[in-house]
Amino acid sequence: MTPSSDILAEGIYQIHFEWQVFFSQLFGFAVIIWVIVKYVAPPVKKMMVKAQNDIRKQIEENEQAAARLSKAKQVYDEGMAEAKAELAQLLEDAHADAEDIVVKMREAAAAEVERVGKQGRDQIELMRRQLIRDLKADFSKQVMAHTTESVREQVQSPQIKSDAVERFLDDLQAMANTGSSGRTHTQSQWN
C-alpha cells in the first residue's frame, strides 16, 4: 500500500477526507444557521415569548381563579355554618314557641273547662232550685186542692153536718155546765 494523504484509513472502509466538500458543507451549514438565526429564530422567539406570556397569563388567571375559588369556598363554608347555626336557632326557637303555645293552650283549655264546669254547675243549681220551687208550688196546689175537695166532701155530707152540729151543741152544753176551765179546753179543740 502506498501512502497517500487522501486516505485516512485502509481496510474495508475507505474514508477519504475532501477539504473542498468539507468547506462547502461548512459554508452551507453556516448559511443555514445564519438564515435560521436571522429569519426563523426571531419569529419563533416571538411566538415562544408570546406563548410564554400567554401561559404566564393563564397561570396568573388560574392562580386568581384558585384564590377566588378558595375565597368563595371559605365564604360558602362560613355561610353554611351561619345558615346551620341560624337553622338550629330557628328550630330551637320554634320548639320553644311550640312548647309555649302548648302550655298556653292547655292553660286556656283548663280555664275554659273550669269556666264551662262552673257555668254548668251554676245552671244545674239554678234548675234544681227552680224545680224545687215548682215542685213545692205543685205540691201545695195539690194539697190545697185535695184538702179543699176533702173538706167540701165532708161539709157537703148531711151526716157530717149533723155530727158537727151535734158536737158543737154538746160542747156548748158542756161549757155551760163546767164553767171557765172547760171553756179553755173546748176552745183549744176548735183551734
Identify whether the C-beta of residue 16 lies closer than 8 Å to the C-beta of residue 8: yes
Q: Amino acid letter at 32?
A: I
DSSP calls for 14-77: --B--HHHHHHHHHHHHHHHHHIIIIIHHHHHHHHHHHHHHHHHHHHHHHHHHHHHHHHHHHHH
- The per-residue pLDDT for range 85-95, each reduced to its tens digit, is 999 999 999 99
pLDDT at 184: 54
Phi and psi at residue 15, in whole multiples of 5°?
-105, 125
pLDDT at 161: 75
- The per-residue pLDDT for range 115-143, each reduced to its tens digit, is 999 998 999 999 989 989 888 888 888 88
Helix (H, G, I), strand (E, B) or coil at 89: helix
Domain residue spans of the chain? 22-157
Identify whether the C-beta of residue 27 lies closer than 8 Å to the C-beta of residue 35: no
Task: For residues 14 and 54, give the distance between their C-alpha atoms in angstroms, rounded to a whole number.
Answer: 54
Inform me whether the pLDDT recorded for 2 exceeds 70. no
Inform me whether the pLDDT recorded for 30 exceeds 90. yes
Q: HEC states along 125-150?
A: HHHHHHHHHHHHHHHHHHHHHHHHHH
- The per-residue pLDDT for range 72-115, each reduced to its tens digit, is 999 999 999 999 999 999 999 999 999 999 999 999 999 999 99
The pTM of the full predicted model, rounded to 2 decimals, is 0.37
